[in-house]
């Protein structure tokens, strides 16, 4: 078992492809009585009340996504700013009553509204919060204290001493509870967990910028060290990403006083009566764990190639503020056939394509089907993330194709534009090992989450979409030869009755 045995990721990807035949030959009945709860609940862990009167960031969402804040020792992080970031990333924003059941919707989109992502906070220098490890509970907007003490050295050591972690005021740890998503999507849900971590990160990183705080996303770390800290087993819950928030004065790497490997005193409630384990999912999770600092260093070195950052809205209107955008965001269930302005599409693509401050290089390319965009001929396009230019691949009305590729969902037919994030999986895996399989889905989730926010910031709608893998690759050939579709996001205006 090793990150370098990239046959594991290749096998998993092939085994979890959707095709016209596969969705018909392998139907899945949802077991509603065994539906997992969308929250991790620690009934006995001491609660920490979080401030409720949150003054969410008013800077334009497009600006918050354009570039990050450089780390500096003067950054301040207090409990209110931390709460704003947590709320914008994963807060409970809407409730809907359906029959006897109340459904909760969260700040970031999640495939199937299953919310597999949890956030933990390792606080080391947060005004108003004692150093310790906490779990964020979105349902009642509280933290639950899991362990006292400072753990940033333990975490930084697990990530080969990455400077942002050594100096972080707080480290947010995102994990995936696989069963929540696997309940509906079975083994393929491994991909969805990283998409969902990506949409959470799109919000989280923008919220940090909105609070003038630096944020560094880290995906190369020795998994077992972070799992031990959180008390999770990598089978049911695995670590998705670390984010260093803010910075103290330059600090040296040392040992923490508290022992991060001691068991946690508190138990979480079961998610449902039973849990189904999908062996292919367990296997790819295990094969993409990094087991040593040598493996972490090999990957971090590959990440030196920095991405493009800093391109803004490109002359479009500044659009809504970030807080307002996050509160209004939702999945557009039915699109009108309206054309959106070409300048808005360009601003959305520019916001989406910025590479975040992180430890892996840009992995995804951006393709597009334009159904109805003012000033842009209907057709299939490649969008160059560096030059921010669209290149026409073939002109024509591809509404029917777009609908088909989105698993025959009308959203593809009806939207104004369908973005398809694609990647050269072979190259990604050769460079980053199986860990690259996680990174590529995480990156697509971030880029897709940003496109979604940008579209709402400009007064339009958006939704994510799954797809027929090989048919989507074929549609964008020959330009996309050798690339695999990773995620789709549809953009457009809501239909009147949506
Ligand atoms: C990665 C991803 C994939 C999604 N795929 C689909 C899809 O194929 N079809 C669809 O109708 N909605 C899709 N959605 C939208 C979710 O169903 C929606 O985000 C969820 O129900 C939560 O609702 P909200 O976004 O309005 O808060 C997707 C969302 C995400 C994040």
**Is the previous residue joined to 478 through a cis bond, with omega within 30 degrees of 0?**
yes
pLDDT tens-digit series, residues 385-404: 999 999 999 999 999 999 99
Tell me how crowded residue 223 is: count the other CB atoms within 10 A of its CB. 21
313 has pLDDT over 60: no
- pLDDT value of position 308: 42
Q: Please give the pLDDT value at position 305.
A: 40
Rounded (to 5) percent helix, strand, coil in the chain: 35, 20, 40
* pLDDT the model gives residue 311: 47
Residue 186 scores a pLDDT above 80: yes
Q: What pLDDT does 485 receive?
A: 98
How far, in Å, from the CA of 332 to the mean position of ligand 1? 9
Centre of ligand 1 to C-alpha 464, Å, is 5
Alpha carbon nearest to ligand 1 atom 21, residue: 113
Nearest atom, ligand 1, residue 112 CA: 17
- Which residue among 90, 112, 202, 415 is best mutated to probe the pocket of ligand 1, counting the most ligand atoms within 8 A of its Cβ? 112
- Going from the Cα of 306 to the center of ligand 1, the distance in angstroms, rounded, reads 30
CA of 110 to the centre of ligand 1 (A): 6
What is the pLDDT, as a whole number, of residue 227?
98
C-beta separation of 491 from 451 below 8 A: yes
Residues 6+ apart with CB under 8 A from 367: 380, 381, 382, 383, 393, 419, 420, 421, 422, 476, 479, 480
d(CA 267, CA 441): 30
* Strand partners for 136: 143
Task: Please compute the mean of the pLDDT values over residues 410-438 and round it to a whole number.
Answer: 98
pLDDT of 446 reads: 98
Q: Which of 38, 89, 106, 109 is the pocket-test mutation for ligand 1 (most atoms within 8 Å of CB)?
A: 109
Average pLDDT on 403-431 reads: 98
Check residue 104 and give its pLDDT.
96
**Closest ligand 1 atom to Cα of 94:** 27
Confidence band for 26, pLDDT divided at 50, 70 and 90: confident
| Predicted confidence (pLDDT) per residue in 272-300, tens digit | 999 999 999 999 999 999 999 999 999 98
Q: How far is the CA of 410 from the centre of ligand 1 (A)?
A: 14
pLDDT at 302: 63
Tens digits of residue pLDDT in 81-116: 999 999 999 999 999 999 988 999 999 999 999 999
| Rounded mean pLDDT, 162-187 | 97
Report yes or no: 218 and 242 within 8 Å, Cβ to Cβ. yes
Check residue 314 and give its pLDDT. 52
**Global pTM value:** 0.97
Residue 443 Cα to ligand 1 midpoint, Å, equals 17
Average pLDDT, the chain: 95
Residue-level pLDDT at 310:
46
**Closest residue CA from atom 11 of ligand 1:** 333
- Give exposure, 318-333, as e/b (b: 16+ Cβ within 10 Å): ebbbbbbbbbebbbbe
| Token code pair at residue 81 | 């700013």
Greatest extent of the chain over all pairs of C-alpha atoms, in Å: 64
Contacts of 301 (CB under 8 A, 6+ apart): none
Q: pLDDT at position 27, please?
A: 85
pLDDT of 438 above 60: yes
Ligand 1 nearest-atom number relative to CA 467: 8
Say what percent of the chain tops pLDDT 70. Answer: 97
pLDDT given at position 74: 82
- The full set of domains in the chain, from first to last, is 7-302 (3.40.109.10), 322-492 (3.40.109.10)
Distance CA 321, CA 330 (A): 16
CB–CB of 104/139 below 8 Å? yes
pLDDT confidence bin for 303, thresholds 50/70/90: low
Distance 402 CA to ligand 1 centre (A): 17
pLDDT at 4: 95
pLDDT category of residue 154 using cuts at 50, 70 and 90: very high
| Tokens of residue 343, six digits | 């300048």
Ligand 1 pocket mutation, candidates 95, 176, 421, 464, criterion most atoms within 8 A of CB: 464
Provide the total of helices (H) and of strands (E) in the chain, helices listed first: 18, 17
Banded model confidence at residue 307, pLDDT cuts 50, 70, 90: very low
Average pLDDT over residues 208-212: 97
Residues composing the chain: 498
Gap from CA of 40 to ligand 1 centroid (Å): 21
pLDDT at 255: 78
Atom of ligand 1 nearest to the CA of 199: 31
Confidence category of residue 316, pLDDT binned at 50, 70, 90: low
For 14, half-sphere exposure in the C-beta direction (CA atoms, 13 angstrom radius) is 7
pLDDT at 131: 96
Strands 340-341 and 373-374 turn out to be parallel
The answer to whether 171 and 245 have CB atoms below 8 angstroms apart is yes
Q: What percent of the chain is modeled with pLDDT above 90?
A: 91
Higher pLDDT, 442 or 252: 442
Å from CA of 96 to ligand 1 middle:
16
Q: pLDDT band at 321, cuts 50/70/90?
A: very high
Q: What was the pLDDT predicted at 306? A: 41
Q: Which tokens belong to 493? A: 């205006």
Which pLDDT belongs to residue 62?
97
| pLDDT average, residue stretch 369-374 | 98
Q: What's the CA gap between 126 and 430, in Å, rounded?
A: 40
Distance, CA 404 to ligand 1 centroid (Å)?
17
Q: How confident is the model at residue 206 (pLDDT cuts 50, 70, 90)?
A: very high
Q: Ligand 1: residues within 6 Å at CB?
A: 105, 109-113, 195-196, 199, 330-331, 409, 411, 463-466
């Amino acid at each position: 078992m090793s990150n370098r045995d990239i046959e594991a990721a290749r096998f998993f990807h092939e085994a979890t492809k959707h095709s016209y035949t596969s969705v018909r030959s392998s139907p899945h009945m949802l077991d509603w009585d065994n539906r997992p709860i969308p929250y991790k609940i620690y009934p006995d862990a001491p609660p920490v009340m979080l401030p409720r009167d949150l003054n969410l960031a008013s800077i334009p969402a497009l600006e918050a996504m354009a570039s990050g804040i450089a780390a500096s020792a003067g950054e301040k992080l207090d409990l209110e700013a931390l709460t704003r970031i947590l709320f914008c990333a994963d807060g409970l924003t809407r409730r809907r009553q359906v029959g006897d059941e109340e459904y909760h919707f969260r700040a970031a989109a999640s495939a199937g509204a299953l919310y597999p992502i949890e956030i933990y906070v390792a606080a080391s220098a947060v005004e108003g919060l004692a150093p310790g490890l906490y779990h964020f509970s979105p349902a009642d907007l509280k933290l639950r204290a899991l362990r006292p003490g400072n753990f940033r050295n333990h975490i930084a050591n697990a990530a080969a001493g990455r400077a942002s972690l050594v100096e972080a005021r707080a480290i947010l740890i995102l994990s995936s509870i696989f069963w929540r998503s696997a309940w509906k999507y079975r083994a393929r849900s491994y991909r969805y967990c990283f998409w969902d971590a990506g949409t959470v990160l799109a919000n989280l990183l923008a919220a940090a910028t909105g609070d003038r705080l630096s944020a560094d996303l880290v995906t190369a770390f020795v998994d077992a060290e972070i799992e031990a800290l959180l008390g999770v087993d990598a089978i049911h819950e695995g670590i998705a990403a670390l984010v260093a928030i803010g910075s103290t004065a330059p600090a040296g790497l040392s040992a923490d006083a508290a022992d991060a490997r001691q068991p946690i005193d508190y138990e979480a409630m079961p998610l449902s009566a039973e849990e189904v384990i999908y062996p292919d999912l367990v296997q790819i999770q295990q094969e993409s764990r990094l087991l040593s600092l040598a493996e972490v260093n090999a990957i971090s070195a590959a990440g030196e190639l920095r991405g493009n950052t800093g391109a803004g809205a490109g002359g479009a209107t500044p659009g809504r503020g970030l807080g307002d955008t996050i509160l209004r965001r939702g999945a557009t269930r039915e699109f009108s056939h309206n054309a959106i302005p070409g300048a808005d599409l360009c601003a959305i693509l520019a916001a989406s394509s910025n590479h975040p401050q992180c430890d892996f290089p840009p992995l995804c390319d951006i393709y597009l089907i334009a159904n109805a965009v003012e000033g842009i001929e209907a057709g299939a396009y490649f969008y160059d993330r560096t030059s921010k230019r669209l290149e026409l691949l073939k002109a024509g009305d591809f509404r029917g194709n777009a609908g088909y590729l989105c698993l025959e969902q009308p959203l593809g037919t009806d939207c104004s534009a369908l973005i398809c994030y694609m990647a050269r999986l072979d190259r990604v895996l050769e460079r980053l090992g199986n860990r690259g399989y996680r990174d590529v889905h995480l990156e697509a989730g971030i880029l897709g989450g940003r496109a979604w926010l940008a579209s709402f910031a400009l007064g339009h709608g958006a939704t994510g979409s799954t797809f027929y893998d090989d048919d989507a690759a074929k549609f964008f050939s020959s330009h996309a030869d050798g690339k695999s579709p990773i995620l789709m996001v549809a953009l457009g205006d809501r239909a009147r009755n949506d």
